C-alpha cells in the first residue's frame, strides 16, 4: 500500500509519520526530528481517525444547515457587529494546532481586513512568556538552536519540562545520546519528581516559581568565577551590569545550599550546556522573567547558537512555532514584524493590498474572554481549541462564551465542552485529511499530507476562513486556490520582512509550484531567496534590537513567602498518553488504559493531615470552582503542593475539569496565565459508595463522581455516589446504559457489596461492582470479558481466572503490557528494563514507559532489601 509522509499532529517535537489509507502508521525513518521513532500517542494515531463523534455538516443551534447558510450567517453577523460597534467588537480565538496556512488566512482576515488585532490563540496559554522573553533578549522571537544540540551537549538542564512524557521522542534521543556518552549529564528542575526527574542525574525539587532566583544565583556565580565571556558581551550584549546587580541580591528558591552548589558547579564547569524549558517556566505570573533569567546566563557566557549550547524553549503544540511565524498572537503582526512599528504595518498593509491594518494590540486570551463576559465582544469565532476546558477559570470562560451574542466554533467533533456553548458549529477536516505545513521546536517546517478523504461536508480550516473573507467583500484577497498558494503568499511576505531586517525569512520557498509544495522535504528556516541559511542563530551576535545587540535584563525574583494558610499550591500539567482535552487520544482505548481517571497527587503528610484515603476521592475547591479527583498519595510532590492533570472534560468526567480551579492571574509582560499557580483547599469527599463499570455501551459521566474512558470492548467508568440507591439493578442499568438483556445480581448486604452482570443472550454486555470503599476488582479482566460468553459466576467474582491473569493498569501502551504483568516478570527474575522488555515486550517500541518500568523494578528491589 502507498505510504504518505506526514507529520504527527501532537507535540512540538514534530515527528515524521508514514501513514497508510488503512490508518496503519509508523515513524518516518527519514525525518530528521525522529528518525523513525514515535511515542505512544504517535503510535496510536491510527486509532483516532475514525468517524465516530465527528462533526460532518455545519450545525446551527443543533440543526444541520448548508455551508452557504452557515458562512453567509458568519459574514453577516461579523459585519453587523463591526458596523455597529467597531472592529474591536469581534474576535477570533485560534490554536497552535491549526496549520500555518489556516493560521495565515485567519490572521490576514482579522488584522488586515477586519482591522482589529483581536485574534489571540491558545499559544497565549503556552508559549507567550517565551515569546516575550525572546523578544526582550534577542529583539526577535527566535529559538537559536537545533535538536542535535541536545545530543552534542555535555550538560542538559530541563527546567519545568516533563520531557519524558510531553516530548517523548526528544527525550529518547537524549537518552540514546547519554547511553553513548555516559559522561553527559541531565539535570531536571521541577517541584515534582516526574518520570523525567527519575531518569535524570540530578533532580532539583525547586520551590514553585523559584526558577528566577536560581538562575540569578547562577549568573552571580558565573561572574564570581570569572566565566563571563567578555569578548562576546562587549561585542554583542547590553545590560550586563544591571542584570548582575539585580542578580546579586539573593532570594530563596527552595533548594538547599548543597543542591545549589552542585548545580552551579555542573553549569559553570561545562561549556556545552543546553537549558531546555517548557511550561514550568512559561505558565507563571513571572514566566517572562524566568525566561530572561535563563537567557541571561547563556548570553553572559556566550553559550548560545553554538553546537551543543544555548537556551531552548520547547514548543508544545505541533504548530505553536508556525503560529508565531504568521503573527497569530494579538500583539504580533506577521512574519516576525512588529505591530507597534509603523513601517512594518504599512509594509504588510501594502503587501496584502488591505483596506486597513490593526494599529494597536488586540485582547490577549484572558482579557479576550473577560471582554466576552463584559458584553464587549459581539461575535466570536473559536477555531481548533477547547477554551471551556483549557482556559483558566474555565467555568467563567464557558459562561463568557455563552454571553457573546454570536459564537462560532470550527472543530472536528460535535461534542466538546466549547461547542456546547456555541451557536454555530463548522466541520473542519482533521489530521490525515488536511494538508499544509507545521513548524516544530527547532524551526523545522514539515508537511502534513492527507491520506484520507474529507468526511461528510468537512472543509479545510483555511478554506472556511477564506470563504468568509470573500463573503465579507474581500474577494481577491481571499481567493486562494489551494494551501500551496497560501503558503507561497506567506513565504513571499517573509521576504518583505527580511528586507525590513527581520529574521524569519522563507522567501526561498515563495516560488514553489504546487507539486514542489506537495513534495516539500522537512526544512529548517531561514530559507532566504539567496540560499544562504545558517542553522543556528546568534553565535556571532546579530541580534534584532536596533543596535544589533542582545539585552540582559535585571530580574527581580518573586517573593515566595506567600502564606497559603491551609490551602495547597495547585500545580497542573499533562499525562503521558493523553493530549489536552482528549478529543483525539480519548478515542484510542490503549491510551486511556495508562491513567483512566482524573486524579490528585498529594504528599503523604498532607494527605494524613487532611484525612485523605489512598484511592479515595478528594474535593478540591477555591473561589473559582470545584473538582472531585481520585487521590494518589505520593512523595513525588512536595509538602504543601498538589498536582492534577488538565485533560478531563465535561465529556469524560462529571467533576474533573480542573481548570475550573485555575487562576486567571497573568504575567504582566506576556499575558500568559499562571496555570500552575492556583491555590486550593482539599478535603475528603465522603462518598456513600464507590463503583466500577464496564459496558459495551457508551456511558455518561453523570453521577456525583464519574469518569468514563473508551476500552477495547466498549467503555469503562469509575463512579461514586452519595446516597445508596434503593434499587441497585436499576442503578447499574442506568450507569451501564443498557436497557435490555438479563441481569445477574449478587448482593452482600452485610458488607455493602453489589455486583451486577447484564447478558444479551449468552454474551456479557456490562458488569458493575459497587462497595462502601473504593472498589477492588481486576478492572482489565472485567473489560476483557465484555462481549465474551464468560459465565456470570466468573464475571461476578471480579478476579481474573487462572487462564486469564490480570494485566493491571497499562504501563506500556504500545505493546499493551500492564503493571501486574510486569510485576510477575519481576517476580520471575527480570532485574532490568531490557530484561523486562525481553520477557513482556514492554518498552520496546517508543520507550516512553521505561521510567515507569524502572520504578517498578526499584520498588521491588527496595522491598526485597527491606525483607532481607
Ligand atoms: N502527553 C502529552 N504531551 C504533550 C501534551 C499533552 O497534552 N500530552 N501537550 C503538548 C503541549 S501543548 C505542551 S505546551 C507541552 C508541555 O510540556 P511540559 O511543559 O513538559 O508539561 P507540563 O506537564 O505542563 O509541565 C511541566 C512541568 O512543570 C512543572 N512545574 C510547575 N511549576 C513549576 C515551577 O514553578 N518551576 C519549574 N521549574 N517547574 C514547574 C510541573 O511540575 C510539570 O512537571 O507538552 C506537549 N506534549
Ligand atoms: N491547567 C492547565 N491548563 C492548561 C495547560 C496546563 O498546563 N494546565 N496548558 C495550556 C496549553 S500549553 C495548551 S496548548 C492548551 C491546549 O488546550 P486546547 O487547545 O483547548 O486543547 P485541545 O484538546 O488540543 O483542543 C483542540 C480542539 O481542536 C479540535 N481539532 C483537532 N483538530 C482540528 C482541526 O484540524 N481543525 C479544527 N478546527 N479543530 C480541530 C479538537 O477536537 C479540540 O476540540 O491548554 C492550556 N491549558
Ligand atoms: S514525540 Fe510523540 S506526540 Fe510528539 S510529535 Fe513525536 S510521536 Fe507525536
Ligand atoms: Mo501548549
- Per residue, the 3-state secondary structure of 762-801, as one string, reads CEEEEEEEEECCCCCCCHHHHHHHCCCCCCHHHHHHCCCC
Question: Tens of pLDDT along 154-191?
Answer: 999 999 999 999 999 999 999 999 999 999 999 999 99
Q: How far is 569 from 680, CA to CA, in rounded Å? A: 6
Is the beta carbon of 441 within 6 A of some atom in ligand 1?
no
Residue 350 CA to ligand 1 centre (angstroms): 40
Residue 546: pLDDT above 90? yes
Higher pLDDT, 230 or 868: 230
Question: Which residue do the cell numbers 518573586 mark?
Answer: 558
Residue 17 CA to ligand 3 centre (angstroms): 9
pLDDT of residue 801: 67
pLDDT of residue 867: 60
Is the beta carbon of 162 within 6 A of some atom in ligand 2?
no
Is the beta carbon of 284 within 6 A of some atom in ligand 2?
no
Tally of CB atoms within 10 A around 829: 8
Question: Which residue do the cell numbers 515569546 mark?
Answer: 131
Reported as a pLDDT band with limits 50, 70 and 90, residue 266 is very high
Question: Tens of pLDDT along 411-424?
Answer: 999 999 999 999 99
The arithmetic mean of pLDDT across residues 589-610, rounded, is: 94
Report yes or no: 494 and 529 within 8 Å, Cβ to Cβ. no
The arithmetic mean of pLDDT across residues 660-684, rounded, is: 97
CA distances from 579 to 429, 441, 649 (A): 18, 18, 12
Cα dihedral 597→600→604→609 (10° resolution): -120
Nearest CA to ligand 3 atom 4: 11
Ligand 3 atom with minimal separation from the 33 CA: 6
Is the beta carbon of 191 within 6 A of some atom in ligand 1?
yes
Query: Exposed/middle/buried for 361, CB within 10 Å: 0-12, 13-18, 19+?
Result: middle
Is the beta carbon of 603 within 6 A of some atom in ligand 2?
no
SS3 at position 55: coil
Q: Which runs of consecutive H residues, i.e. helices, occur in 317-373?
A: 320-325, 342-352, 365-373
Residue 427 CA to ligand 3 centre (angstroms): 25
Residue 425: pLDDT above 80? yes
Residue 623: pLDDT above 70? yes
Q: How far is 161 from 167, CA to CA, in rounded Å? A: 9
Q: Minimal CA–CA distance to 202: which of 272, 165, 256, 148? A: 256
pLDDT of residue 110: 98
Q: Which of 162, 215, 384 to mutate to test the pocket of ligand 1 (most atoms within 8 A of CB)?
A: 162
Question: Tens of pLDDT along 350-394?
Answer: 999 999 999 999 999 999 999 999 999 999 999 999 999 999 999
Question: Tens of pLDDT along 700-741?
Answer: 988 789 999 999 999 999 999 999 999 999 999 999 999 999
Residue 495: pLDDT above 70? yes
pLDDT of residue 814: 86
pLDDT of residue 507: 97
Question: Which residue do the cell numbers 496556512 mark?
Answer: 101
Strand 237-238 versus strand 705-711 pairing type: unpaired
pLDDT of residue 594: 87
The arithmetic mean of pLDDT across residues 580-608, rounded, is: 94
Question: Tens of pLDDT along 514-527?
Answer: 999 999 999 999 99
Question: Tens of pLDDT along 307-332?
Answer: 999 999 999 999 999 999 999 999 99
pLDDT of residue 859: 81
Question: Tens of pLDDT along 750-801?
Answer: 999 999 999 999 999 999 999 999 998 889 899 999 999 999 999 998 877 6
Ligand 2 atom with minimal separation from the 127 CA: 12
Is the beta carbon of 430 within 6 A of some atom in ligand 2?
yes
Q: Which residues, 6 or more positions from 479, have their beta carbon under 8 angstroms from its beta carbon?
A: 466, 470
Tally of CB atoms within 10 A around 532: 9
Is the beta carbon of 126 within 6 A of some atom in ligand 1?
yes
Q: How far is 168 from 173, CA to CA, in rounded Å? A: 9
Report yes or no: 743 and 758 within 8 Å, Cβ to Cβ. yes
The three-state (H, E, C) secondary structure of 533-554, written as one string: CCCCCCCCCCCCCCCCCEECCC
pLDDT of residue 803: 62
Residue 643: pLDDT above 60? yes
Q: How far is 434 from 448, CA to CA, in rounded Å? A: 7
Is the beta carbon of 410 within 6 A of some atom in ligand 2?
yes
Residue 389 CA to ligand 3 centre (angstroms): 22
Residue 123 CA to ligand 4 centre (angstroms): 6
Residue 581 CA to ligand 2 centre (angstroms): 6
The three-state (H, E, C) secondary structure of 563-616, written as one string: CCCCCEEEEEECCCCCCCCCCCHHHCHHHHCCCCCCEEEECHHHHHHHCCCCCC
Bond into 782 cis (ω within 30): no
Q: Minimal CA–CA distance to 839: which of 824, 819, 861? A: 824
CA distances from 265 to 35, 218, 559 (A): 34, 9, 26
Residue 127 CA to ligand 4 centre (angstroms): 7
Complete edge-to-edge strand list for the sheet that includes strand 63-64: 63-64, 59-60, 424-427, 406-411, 379-383, 90-94, 119-121
Q: Minimal CA–CA distance to 328: which of 490, 488, 134? A: 490
The arithmetic mean of pLDDT across residues 451-477, rounded, is: 98
CA-only gyration radius of the chain, Å: 27
Question: What does pLDDT average to over the chain?
Answer: 95
Q: Which three cell numbers stand for residue 487?
A: 503558503
Is the beta carbon of 367 within 6 A of some atom in ligand 1?
no
351: left (phi over 0), alpha (psi -120 to 50) or beta: alpha
Reported as a pLDDT band with limits 50, 70 and 90, residue 80 is very high
Q: Which of 11, 218, 323 to mutate to test the pocket of ligand 1 (most atoms within 8 A of CB)?
A: 11
Q: How far is 431 from 384, CA to CA, in rounded Å? A: 12
Tally of CB atoms within 10 A around 476: 8
Q: Which residues, 6 or more positions from 690, have their beta carbon under 8 angstroms from its beta carbon?
A: 718, 719, 720, 770, 771, 772, 773, 774, 775
The arithmetic mean of pLDDT across residues 46-71, rounded, is: 97
The arithmetic mean of pLDDT across residues 290-301, rounded, is: 98
Q: Which of 38, 121, 158, 161 to mutate to test the pocket of ligand 1 (most atoms within 8 A of CB)?
A: 161
Q: Which runs of consecutive H residues, i.e. helices, occur in 189-239?
A: 195-198, 211-224, 230-236
The arithmetic mean of pLDDT across residues 91-118, rounded, is: 98
Q: What are phi and psi of 400, to 5 degrees?
A: -65, -40
Poorest-confidence range of 95-99, 266-270, 557-561, 809-813?
A: 809-813
Q: Which of 646, 660, 666 to mutate to test the pocket of ligand 2 (most atoms within 8 A of CB)?
A: 646
pLDDT of residue 864: 67
Ligand 1 atom with minimal separation from the 646 CA: 7
pLDDT of residue 292: 98
Ligand 1 atom with minimal separation from the 39 CA: 1
Q: Which of 39, 319, 584 to mutate to test the pocket of ligand 3 (most atoms within 8 A of CB)?
A: 39
Residue 384 CA to ligand 2 centre (angstroms): 7
pLDDT of residue 607: 97
Residue 589 CA to ligand 3 centre (angstroms): 18
Helix/strand/coil percentages in the chain, nearest 5: 35, 20, 45
Question: Tens of pLDDT along 808-867?
Answer: 888 888 888 888 889 988 988 888 898 898 889 999 888 888 888 988 888 877 676 666
Q: How far is 656 from 844, CA to CA, in rounded Å? A: 33
Q: Which of 412, 419, 427, 459 to mutate to test the pocket of ligand 2 (most atoms within 8 A of CB)?
A: 412
Is the beta carbon of 583 within 6 A of some atom in ligand 1?
no
Q: Minimal CA–CA distance to 441: which of 123, 5, 146? A: 146
Amino acid at each position: 500500500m502507498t505510504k504518505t509522509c506526514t507529520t504527527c499532529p501532537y507535540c512540538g517535537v514534530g515527528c515524521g509519520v508514514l501513514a497508510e489509507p488503512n490508518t496503519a502508521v509508523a515513524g518516518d525513518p527519514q525525518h530528521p526530528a525522529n528518525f523513525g521513532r514515535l511515542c505512544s500517542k504517535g503510535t496510536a494515531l491510527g486509532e483516532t481517525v475514525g468517524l465516530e463523534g465527528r462533526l460532518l455538516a455545519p450545525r446551527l443551534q443543533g440543526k444541520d444547515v448548508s455551508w452557504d447558510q452557515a458562512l453567509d450567517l458568519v459574514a453577516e453577523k461579523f459585519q453587523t457587529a463591526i458596523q455597529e460597534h467597531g472592529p474591536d467588537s469581534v474576535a477570533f480565538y485560534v490554536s497552535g494546532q491549526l496549520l500555518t496556512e489556516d493560521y495565515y488566512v485567519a490572521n490576514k482576515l482579522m488584522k488586515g481586513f477586519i482591522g482589529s488585532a483581536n485574534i489571540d490563540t491558545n499559544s497565549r496559554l503556552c508559549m507567550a512568556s517565551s515569546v516575550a522573553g525572546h523578544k526582550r533578549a534577542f529583539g526577535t522571537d527566535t529559538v537559536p538552536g537545533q535538536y542535535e544540540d541536545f545530543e552534542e551537549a555535555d550538560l542538559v538542564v530541563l527546567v519545568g519540562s516533563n520531557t519524558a512524557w510531553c516530548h517523548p521522542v526528544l527525550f529518547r534521543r537524549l537518552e540514546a545520546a547519554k547511553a553513548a556518552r555516559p559522561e553527559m549529564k541531565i539535570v531536571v528542575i521541577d517541584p515534582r519528581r516526574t518520570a523525567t526527574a527519575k531518569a535524570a542525574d540530578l533532580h532539583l525539587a525547586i520551590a514553585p516559581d523559584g526558577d528566577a532566583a536560581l538562575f540569578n544565583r547562577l549568573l552571580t556565580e558565573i561572574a564570581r568565577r570569572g566565566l563571563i565571556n567578555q569578548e562576546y558581551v562587549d561585542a554583542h550584549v547590553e545590560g550586563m551590569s544591571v542584570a548582575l546587580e539585580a542578580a546579586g541580591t539573593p532570594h530563596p528558591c527552595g533548594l538547599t545550599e548543597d543542591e545549589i552548589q552542585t548545580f552551579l558547579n555542573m553549569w559553570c564547569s561545562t561549556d556545552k550546556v543546553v537549558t531546555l524549558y517548557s511550561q514550568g517556566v512559561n505558565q507563571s505570573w513571572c514566566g517572562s522573567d524566568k525566561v530572561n533569567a535563563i537567557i541571561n546566563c547563556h548570553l553572559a557566557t556566550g553559550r548560545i547558537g553554538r553546537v551543543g549550547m544555548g537556551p531552548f524553549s520547547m514548543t508544545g503544540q505541533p504548530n505553536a512555532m508556525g503560529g508565531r511565524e504568521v503573527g497569530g498572537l494579538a500583539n504580533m503582526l506577521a512574519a516576525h514584524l512588529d505591530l507597534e512599528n509603523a513601517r512594518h504595518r504599512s509594509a504588510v498593509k501594502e503587501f496584502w493590498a488591505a483596506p486597513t491594518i490593526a494599529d494597536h494590540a488586540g485582547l490577549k486570551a484572558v482579557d479576550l474572554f473577560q471582554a466576552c463576559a463584559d458584553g464587549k465582544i459581539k461575535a466570536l469565532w473559536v477555531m481548533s481549541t477547547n477554551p471551556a476546558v483549557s482556559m483558566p477559570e474555565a467555568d467563567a470562560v464557558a459562561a463568557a462564551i455563552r454571553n457573546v451574542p454570536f459564537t462560532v466554533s470550527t472543530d472536528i467533533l460535535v461534542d466538546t465542552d466549547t461547542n456546547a456553548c456555541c451557536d454555530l458549529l463548522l466541520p473542519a477536516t482533521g489530521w490525515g485529511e488536511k494538508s499544509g505545513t507545521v513548524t516544530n521546536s527547532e524551526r523545522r517546517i514539515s508537511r502534513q499530507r492527507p491520506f484520507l478523504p474529507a468526511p461528510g461536508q468537512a472543509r479545510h480550516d483555511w478554506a472556511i476562513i477564506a470563504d468568509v473573507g470573500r463573503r465579507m467583500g474581500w474577494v481577491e484577497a481571499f481567493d486562494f486556490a489551494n494551501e500551496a498558494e497560501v503558503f507561497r503568499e506567506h513565504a513571499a511576505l517573509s521576504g518583505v520582512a527580511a528586507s525590513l531586517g527581520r529574521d524569519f525569512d522563507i522567501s526561498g520557498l515563495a516560488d514553489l509550484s504546487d507539486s514542489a509544495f506537495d513534495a516539500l522535504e522537512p526544512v529548517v528556516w531561514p530559507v532566504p531567496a539567496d540560499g544562504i541559511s545558517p542553522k543556528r542563530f546568534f553565535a556571532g551576535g546579530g541580534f534584532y534590537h536596533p543596535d544589533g545587540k542582545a539585552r540582559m535584563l535585571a530580574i527581580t525574583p518573586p517573593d515566595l513567602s506567600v502564606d497559603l494558610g491551609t490551602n495547597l499550591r495547585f500545580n497542573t500539567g499533562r499525562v503521558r498518553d493523553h493530549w489536552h482535552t482528549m478529543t483525539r487520544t480519548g478515542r484510542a482505548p490503549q491510551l486511556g488504559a495508562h491513567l483512566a481517571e482524573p486524579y490528585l497527587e498529594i504528599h503523604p503528610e498532607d494527605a494524613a493531615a487532611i484525612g485523605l484515603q489512598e484511592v479515595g476521592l478528594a474535593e478540591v475547591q477555591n473561589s473559582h470552582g470545584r473538582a472531585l479527583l481520585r487521590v494518589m498519595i505520593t512523595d513525588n510532590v512536595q509538602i504543601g503542593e498538589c498536582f492534577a492533570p488538565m485533560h478531563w472534560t465535561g465529556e469524560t468526567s462529571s467533576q474533573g475539569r480542573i481548570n475550573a480551579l485555575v487562576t486567571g492571574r497573568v504575567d504582566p509582560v506576556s499575558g500568559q496565565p499562571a496555570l500552575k499557580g492556583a491555590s486550593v483547599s482539599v478535603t475528603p469527599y465522603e462518598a456513600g459508595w464507590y463503583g466500577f463499570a464496564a459496558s459495551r455501551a457508551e456511558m455518561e459521566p453523570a453521577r456525583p463522581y464519574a469518569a468514563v474512558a473508551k476500552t477495547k470492548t466498549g467503555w469503562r467508568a469509575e463512579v461514586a455516589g452519595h446516597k445508596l440507591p434503593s434499587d441497585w439493578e436499576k442503578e447499574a442499568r442506568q450507569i451501564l446504559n443498557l436497557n435490555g438483556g438479563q441481569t445477574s445480581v449478587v448482593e452482600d448486604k452485610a458488607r455493602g457489596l453489589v455486583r451486577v452482570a447484564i447478558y444479551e443472550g449468552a454474551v456479557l454486555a456490562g458488569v458493575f461492582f459497587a462497595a462502601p470503599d473504593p472498589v477492588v476488582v481486576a478492572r482489565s479482566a472485567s473489560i476483557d470479558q465484555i462481549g465474551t460468553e464468560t459465565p456470570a459466576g466468573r464475571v461476578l467474582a471480579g478476579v481474573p481466572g487462572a487462564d486469564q491473569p490480570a494485566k493491571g493498569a497499562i504501563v506500556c501502551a504500545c505493546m499493551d503490557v500492564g503493571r501486574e504483568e510486569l510485576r510477575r516478570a519481576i517476580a520471575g527474575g527480570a532485574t532490568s528494563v531490557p530484561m523486562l522488555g525481553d520477557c513482556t515486550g514492554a518498552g520496546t517500541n517508543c520507550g516512553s514507559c521505561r521510567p515507569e518500568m524502572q520504578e517498578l523494578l526499584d520498588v521491588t528491589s527496595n522491598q526485597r532489601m527491606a525483607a532481607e
